Structure 1
């Protein structure tokens, strides 16, 4: 389970920020549902305020820990600091595995990882500690890590995975369970291999397809069934794609994917990430999760993670949105605002605002619309 993460000198964030999912004791039970850590957190802010860059932090940490070995040796590390300054970029992530809290920290520039540490949280017990291309501290139970040949642009966690050292496998699995539509280029419409998703629906996870069908029906899309078809590409490769069926006067008519609405197409493929995260107990990061969707559908999607009976594995969802009404569902404890001054981003959770501008017994959307808590454009 993810507890918090943050960064300094990362894209539009010059100074450090912390994004926490831990709930304080004042959070009403109607929102927390008895949890000490939120399963849902929404990010609000004006266009270009830095909302996507908050999500980029965790997406980039995932890249370092699960994908950085696939980059070419000595290639630049794919991120940007604050307007190209020469200071190191620092990132951290706190999380829980098997009821133990861990802290992962990394400092780097575009050429190399300067330092990297994994430790038990709130202790001085390091699992490993790295400086440049040397491991300077390794815990006794992780002694096999001393055999790793370090590359300057690759995380120790991914190096251990590639070298088949099993001691860091739980940490690799945690970061690998982070699913997102955010890359170093920001929101990506190509974050999913659509043919592979359809193949998995058909051959490996028919239960996921059944769940997707039910949600599409409940969303009033007019769809009564979805089937996965197979065809050959011009190169002779097997491809899979969905065919949607609509009822008219008791007869089902097939409608090809590209004739469906943008919202239906988005839902069909994004729901693969939703259900994958729910099954794995992972973390789902979605930038502009409401794009092309009617606002009335958003609570239904949030409920997949917010309802303990649907979210059996404590999966978490962090999303950015321009929909304001959803703030009242989230409340001040689960809404994070991002602002920008002089092109520098800064963020805070609504419950960090002092005074009684925001109260548990009142909607938070009104003071937000009136500009009393920030996060709105200065037009």
Structure 2
């Protein structure tokens, strides 16, 4: 369960900005669009959050920052080597910010325990890393490390001051010796099977799911195809989703075939020899067939997925993560949900997370969109609607809840009129 995520000095984010999934005291749709936070009677967490904003306002950077934190946790010990750089970029439009590290912090709940984990780093090194746990409602500092190379009162071979709390059991000192300036203690602890920290590492690796426009729909669709091939019951759920979306589809069929380059030999791509052909030799991938029935008979017509509409391909791409996250109670982050989807379909997909009969395991959805039809008080509470806006070239993140909209207010009309900000200031286009 995600409680909140904060980012500072990353790309368009100069000052600290926080996306909170904690529900306000508003009682509207509380039972459907939120769920009780474990170990407390008063607080609820939201099932979903939608983020609006003009192009280049920072919407994608927010999700990208969350993904960057996940990637660093998962890969810093196992895949990075000494001298490798982190994929972080500070706010470049301020000379002082260019010299300071990026701060990323997440508060989450796992196995009914709340944790606060954060890092401060630039592309070359970690400056701070810390983990707080609340197993008994009060904060326990399980570990922290701080880089202090210029402090005359501090002497250490690696330049770090370390602290371990009594709440963190098991090996610590031995694992600490594996940590590099460009790796995380949490990552090395999991690599060494630390019983407490491996569970938190697994939360980062398994519970955060990201779909980005940068990922080819073809490769994303392979996840759905693979799952359908392995799990016939899940495959039927995908078929039902496609049928309910009114896509004139009756079934899907998955067959395995050799990777195209492997079957065709070392062919050239854009007249350049493909250098990695041997890696794919004899590799099998799913061949996805979409089955239709003719209008006037029971005749079956089979089409390749690539011959279907962009909307059909997009929905097939989303099917596996969407259904799996709802099934497993995980977190799904999507940049540009509305890409190639009809507004009605985007709305129905989002509403699945706000339906306790479907979202039985407290899954959460966070997505960006330009689709203003979702700005509807019957779909989202004000605290679920967020905006990004540039202020002096830096991104500001804020919630519709701050505007205290009236119950019968037209949110879509108010947004398009600029009442909440976060829209482009276009004075007409002329060439």
Query: Equivalent residue for 2:412?
Result: 365
Given the alignment, which residue of 373, 392, 412 partners 1:342? 392
Query: Equivalent residue for 2:402?
Result: 352
What is the Cα deviation at residue 197 of structure 1?
Answer: 4.1
Query: Equivalent residue for 2:371?
Result: 323
Given the alignment, which residue of 143, 150, 154 partners 2:183? 154
1:179 paired to 2:209? yes
1:212 paired to 2:242? no
Given the alignment, which residue of 142, 148, 152 partners 1:127? 142
Given the alignment, which residue of 67, 77, 81 partners 2:90? 81
Q: Which runs of 5+ in 2 are unaligned?
A: 36-43, 148-157, 263-280, 427-431
Cα distance in 1, alignment partners of residues 210 and 350 from structure 2: 16
Cα distance in 2, alignment partners of residues 213 and 169 from structure 1: 36
What is the Cα deviation at residue 359 of structure 1?
Answer: 1.5
Given the alignment, which residue of 223, 226, 229 partners 1:199? 226
CA contact (8 A) 1:23 1:32 kept: no
What is the Cα deviation at residue 151 of structure 1?
Answer: 1.8
Structure showing greater Rg: 2
Query: Equivalent residue for 1:236?
Result: 282
Query: Equivalent residue for 1:297?
Result: 345
Cα distance in 2, alignment partners of residues 219 and 311 from structure 1: 19
Cα distance in 2, alignment partners of residues 85 and 27 from structure 1: 44
Matches within 5 A, 1:54-93: 54-69=62-77, 70-83=79-92, 85-93=98-106
Cα distance in 1, alignment partners of residues 387 and 290 from structure 2: 38
Query: Equivalent residue for 1:45?
Result: 53
Give per-residue Cα distances to partners, 1:249-306, cap 9 Å, x unaligned: 2211110111011111111122111122122211100000110000010122112211
Query: Equivalent residue for 2:8?
Result: 8
Query: Equivalent residue for 2:109?
Result: 96
Q: CA distance change for structure 1 residues 191 and 239 in 2, over 3 Å: closer, same or farther?
A: closer
Q: CA distance change for structure 1 residues 195 and 34 in 2, over 3 Å: closer, same or farther?
A: closer
Give per-residue Cα distances to partners, 1:197-217, cap 9 Å, x unaligned: 4233212x3332211111111
Aligned pairs, number: 372
Cα distance in 1, alignment partners of residues 49 and 27 from structure 2: 14
State the TM-score, normalized to the length of structure 2. 0.82
Cα distance in 2, alignment partners of residues 30 and 130 from structure 1: 40
Query: Equivalent residue for 2:291?
Result: 245
CA contact (8 A) 1:88 1:109 kept: yes
CA contact (8 A) 2:387 2:399 kept: yes
Cα distance in 2, alignment partners of residues 15 and 63 from structure 1: 22
CA contact (8 A) 2:32 2:355 kept: no
SS of structure 1 residue aligned to 2:170? helix
What is the Cα deviation at residue 73 of structure 1?
Answer: 2.3
Q: Which moves more between the two structures, 64-73 or 35-44?
A: 64-73
Cα distance in 2, alignment partners of residues 104 and 80 from structure 1: 20
Cα distance in 2, alignment partners of residues 57 and 282 from structure 1: 18
Q: Which runs of 5+ in 1 are unaligned?
A: none
State the TM-score, normalized to the length of structure 1. 0.92
SS of structure 2 residue aligned to 1:37? strand
Q: CA distance change for structure 1 residues 34 and 373 in 2, over 3 Å: closer, same or farther?
A: closer
Cα distance in 1, alignment partners of residues 217 and 190 from structure 2: 26
Q: Which moves more between the two structures, 227-236 or 102-111?
A: 227-236
Give per-residue Cα distances to partners, 1:168-194, cap 9 Å, x unaligned: 122112112100024xxx743369564
SS of structure 2 residue aligned to 1:217? helix
List structure 1 segments (4+ residues) > 6 angstroms apart after TM superposition.
none
Query: Equivalent residue for 2:38?
Result: none
1:287 paired to 2:335? yes
Q: CA distance change for structure 1 residues 33 and 287 in 2, over 3 Å: closer, same or farther?
A: closer
Give per-residue Cα distances to partners, 1:9-57, cap 9 Å, x unaligned: 0110101101001011124136755631101100000011000011112
Q: Which moves more between the two structures, 19-28 or 138-147?
A: 138-147
Cα distance in 2, alignment partners of residues 191 and 146 from structure 1: 45
